[in-house]
Structure 1
Amino acid sequence: MYLDHEEDDYNLSLNRFESMLKTNKVFFFDSEEFEEIILHYLDMGKTNLAKKALKLGLEQHPKSTGLKLVQVEMLVYEDKLDAAERLLNELYAIEPHNEEIFIQRASIYSKRDNHEKAVECLQQALEFTDDYADVYNLMGMEYLFMDNLEAAKESFIKCLEEDIMDQSALYNVVYCFEFLDQNKEAVEYLKTYIDRNPYSEIAWHQSGRLYYGLKDYENAVRAFEYATYIDDTFVGAYMEKGKALERLMRYEEAIECYEQTINLDDPTSYALLRIGKCHEKLGNRAEAMKFFNQTVHEDPLLDKGWIAITDFYIREKNFQKALFYVNKALAIDDQNRGYWKRYATINKAMNFYEEAEYGYRKAVEFGDFELDTWLFWVDILNYLGEYDNAVLTLLQASEYYPEEFEIEYRLAGLYFMQHLDEKGLYHLANGLRQNYAHHTLIEELFPSIWERPTVQHYIAKFQK
């Protein structure tokens, strides 16, 4: 009831002020009313109205420290830092124990990127304030600017000790723990926080996220579940719970979670995609395709939707359709190495070797350095008779895989094909030394080289 009364007074002050502006009549407001009106307009981004209110306020209350501090805040907001500092010095001479002076001074130092001095001012503010939580929160932000995550974490924890309901501080504490790679410690901290505030859906949700990152999916599901018990409209918690259930292969339950997000909000392409993936895992191919199609209908620019359909058709060995859909994904993101590798694999399956070679080349260009990608690419170059390019590609691959028999046997075969027998024997020896059992790779990839008596003799000699 008391809060409702305060809210009514606040709205009445705003209405009276706006009425005064429209009628050009002058109404009297006390200085605190002016402060609330000014800060309201600042929060709304209506700086012109805030300035009008400040001007009228100072005319009615020229000695009000509170209004002059709001004036400082406005000067800082407008980057008029020198003017703000001069006014603060005047106020400090009058009220040297006013914590707001130190807070505003910290704000000026922060704007000037002098975050160490800002922290010093906030530490002085702690000596005079009753609102420790706010000062600790500001201090935590300054430490974040300084990349001192450990100190920031401690400040946000102190803020929460003073004001357990400060959600921004809670998010920032978890951010610090995660940045410091202290996920287990973060989980333990949240346990103590939840003991004090068991109905914080944010704390349960953050716990679930941390458990998920630690691959503890059972506890993640439990934490997300508690978040939804507290707030049954918490879309993010249902979504995250669905992801954790997928990891546990509980696909029917995951589908229920994703469907709940759709019931609570407009369908998202991500939820539709995950439902499709779950149906695919359950073997419900028709349902999976239905949801994949809904995904790309909902968001035609979601490349992951087109890739889901591509993978569906690859598994069905319907490469013609797979090629159509992977091109859709590449039209959206043509720098995705995974998409280029799929493009290459599909073209290879359809015996379109030049297109496949191009796909593997692009995959490597965009950072796919997996061994099989190099080898598929080289084998196609070999098939196309591009021996020089194949050798150069293998030498590049050997920088990533310096002791790999599959590379050595291929280099041997390619050098023999180019009549560079000395190099061929050198790499054949490397391959035999690294893995003699797979020397038949030469027979598989280079049958004409395999039949050479010198090669057979060298292999037999190595066996002895």
Structure 2
Amino acid sequence: MSEEPESSYENQVADLVKRYEQMLRGNEQFFFDVDDYQDIVSHYMNNEKHLKAIKVLDIAKAQHPYSFDLLLQESELLIMTGNHKKALALLEKAETFEPCNTDLFLMRASVYSQLGSFEKAINNLKQAIDITVEDVDDIYMNLAFEYENAGKMDEAIVYLKLALQENPKNHDTLYEIAYCYDQAGKLNESVKFYKEFIDNDPYSHSAWYNLGYAYSRMEKFDKALEAYDFATIIKEDFGSAYINKANTLAQLGDYTKAIDTYNEGLKYETPDANVYYYLGECYEKLESFDMALSNYNKAIKTDPFMADAWLGIGIVMDTKGMTPEGLHFVKKAIELQKDNPDYWLVLADICRKSGAIEDAKEAYEKVISIAPENIDLWLDYSDMYFAQNLPEEAIDIISEGIKHNPDKAELYYRAAACFLSIGYDTDTYENLNQALDLDFEKHSQLFEYFPIAKSTIFVLDLIDAYKPA
């Protein structure tokens, strides 16, 4: 049975490298043509033996001083080793040999991109387009990526569409267009684009998938589900479409169907920590805590650095009455994401329920240092003192929260409740007045937190004064 062409080529290169190294060790005179030298250099580059590659190039250039291909390969090696300025100088020299070579402009664009000079990269890619007739769609894609790097999503979309015109079956381009529309905040235009694309190619599973994604981002979940269904009808083993459909079902609160759909997706996808985590969340919402723990554990087994899954285990264990064990997992999540305010709030809540008030206080103070704009922080922190019949301390906390968030009605309603509880009518009136002015609709929060307010005449009168006519 004959060898495959690729295997045969690899054997040829191996023999070539062996012959070169034997001649080098024997200090023999030898000569290889340019193609052979390029193969030897590529072998060393692929195996990250850069010093050996440089030596080969030095010998090769001495024997073939006017080889454009060797100059390009040396430039590639310089780029790989981070010598961008030398690479640019060498490419400038190469340009005197072949000023209209597409690879030269592509390589120079790559250097400028790595240096963060995106406009220069774009200019070189445009020059490459002007002189090339093959693989134009790849150059259009590279142009789009450079515009993305420069934060110019509208321009990126233009070139992605040109790439799609050149190669309508390139699924990657369809996904990239969806990403750019999303980043540009133009989801309506995204929907319009994919609907028009589907009109011309109704069996494009990728187009239906990306239409579903756009609808999901717009929170048009029913339309998203319909689009994902079409995607999976066209491509029955489309794992990503099942996963996204399951995410949508979970957002709608249909956790049982979401679980079934995640499991369907796992038939066609490599097991993924995110999917196990999503399954864990769904089971947790259904209060199937053992199954939630099982899937959270699968998530951290697949990805030990997935902090959300560690946190999920901690929360479920706390819910099951295994608070000390749960605390360990919450702290592990915090080790992985030290500045995640939500994690610290969970820790504070568990410490508070356990009676470890000083530990809870420390956790709340940590959140203040990293996310003072978090409204739940101030509500929960002040409530810890209010629940201990320490309304003055609660007022101090909520007042600090207002300094950080002077436009949040929730904090003024809470302040009004605290002041009312100790009979400070003037302060109650001032805070309630401010809260109603900011957001009248949230006034029920006052009654929910401090029901006595429902029977306080001046509170009811002030609320009535703010009622819409």
TM-score (norm 1): 0.71
Partner of residue 401, structure 1: 408
Q: Deviations over 1:425-447 (max 9, x none)?
A: 4214336755999998999689x
Q: 1:237 to 1:374 in 2, by over 3 A?
A: same
Q: 1:159 to 1:28 in 2, by over 3 A?
A: farther
Distance in 1, matches of 2:40 and 2:201, equals 33
Deviates more, 1:400-409 or 1:19-28: 19-28
Deviation, 1:74, is 2.9
Q: Deviations over 1:309-360 (max 9, x none)?
A: 5555676xx5x42464145313431654444444555566677766666665
Deviation, 1:213, is 1.8
Distance in 2, matches of 1:46 and 1:155, equals 37
Matched, 1:116 2:119: yes
Deviation, 1:413, is 4.5
Partner of residue 19, structure 2: 20
Contact 2:313–2:329 (CA under 8 A) maintained in structure 1: no
Matched, 1:155 2:159: yes
Distance in 2, matches of 1:11 and 1:31, equals 17
1:55-454 equivalences in 2 (<5 Å): 55=58, 58=61, 61-80=64-83, 83-110=86-113, 113-131=116-134, 132-164=136-168, 169-191=173-195, 205-221=209-225, 223-224=227-228, 235-260=239-264, 267-281=271-285, 284=288, 287-288=291-292, 290-292=294-296, 302-309=306-313, 311-312=315-316, 320-322=321-323, 324-333=325-334, 335-345=339-349, 364=368, 366-367=370-371, 374-382=378-386, 384=388, 386=390, 388-398=392-402, 399-401=406-408, 404-414=412-422, 424-430=424-430
Distance in 2, matches of 1:390 and 1:363, equals 17
Distance in 1, matches of 2:165 and 2:257, equals 37
In structure 1, the residue corresponding to 2:177 is in which secondary structure?
helix
Deviation, 1:260, is 4.5
Amino acid in structure 2 at the alignment position of 1:186: S
In structure 2, the residue corresponding to 1:240 is in which secondary structure?
helix
In structure 2, the residue corresponding to 1:133 is in which secondary structure?
helix
Deviation, 1:90, is 4.4
Deviation, 1:106, is 3.9
In structure 1, the residue corresponding to 2:398 is in which secondary structure?
helix
Contact 1:405–1:431 (CA under 8 A) maintained in structure 2: yes
Distance in 2, matches of 1:155 and 1:68, equals 30
Amino acid in structure 1 at the alignment position of 2:258: A
Q: Deviations over 1:207-258 (max 9, x none)?
A: 4433322223345445555666777666544433322232344544433343
Deviation, 1:80, is 4.5
Distance in 2, matches of 1:147 and 1:301, equals 30
Distance in 2, matches of 1:460 and 1:125, equals 73
Distance in 2, matches of 1:26 and 1:238, equals 63
Distance in 2, matches of 1:158 and 1:171, equals 14
Q: Deviations over 1:117-138 (max 9, x none)?
A: 4433333333321233343333
Deviation, 1:45, is 4.0
Distance in 1, matches of 2:226 and 2:367, equals 40
Deviates more, 1:241-250 or 1:348-357: 348-357
Q: 1:37 to 1:254 in 2, by over 3 A?
A: farther
Partner of residue 453, structure 1: none
Distance in 2, matches of 1:198 and 1:49, equals 53
Distance in 1, matches of 2:347 and 2:417, equals 27
Contact 1:38–1:54 (CA under 8 A) maintained in structure 2: yes
Distance in 1, matches of 2:448 and 2:285, equals 36
Q: 1:234 to 1:120 in 2, by over 3 A?
A: same
Q: Deviations over 1:247-276 (max 9, x none)?
A: 344544433343355556775544334334
Contact 1:275–1:291 (CA under 8 A) maintained in structure 2: yes
Aligned-residue RMSD, C-alpha: 4.8
Q: Deviations over 1:349-381 (max 9, x none)?
A: 677766666665555555375666534533442
Distance in 2, matches of 1:18 and 1:44, equals 12
Quote the sequence identity (%). 24
Contact 1:341–1:360 (CA under 8 A) maintained in structure 2: yes
Q: Deviations over 1:96-149 (max 9, x none)?
A: 333334444444555555443443333333332123334333333433343333
Contact 2:106–2:124 (CA under 8 A) maintained in structure 1: yes
Distance in 2, matches of 1:394 and 1:95, equals 71
Amino acid in structure 2 at the alignment position of 1:407: A
Deviates more, 1:218-227 or 1:386-395: 218-227
Amino acid in structure 2 at the alignment position of 1:122: L
Contact 2:108–2:121 (CA under 8 A) maintained in structure 1: yes
In structure 2, the residue corresponding to 1:97 is in which secondary structure?
coil
Q: 1:196 to 1:367 in 2, by over 3 A?
A: same
Q: 1:33 to 1:192 in 2, by over 3 A?
A: farther
Deviates more, 1:257-266 or 1:136-145: 257-266
Stretches of structure 1 lacking an aligned partner (at least 5 in a row): 417-423, 451-455
Contact 1:409–1:441 (CA under 8 A) maintained in structure 2: no
The structure having more radius of gyration, on CA atoms, is: 1
Distance in 2, matches of 1:110 and 1:437, equals 55
TM-score (norm 2): 0.71
Contact 1:303–1:328 (CA under 8 A) maintained in structure 2: no
Contact 1:208–1:222 (CA under 8 A) maintained in structure 2: yes
Q: 1:244 to 1:58 in 2, by over 3 A?
A: same
Distance in 1, matches of 2:340 and 2:127, equals 52
Contact 2:37–2:57 (CA under 8 A) maintained in structure 1: yes
Stretches of structure 2 lacking an aligned partner (at least 5 in a row): none
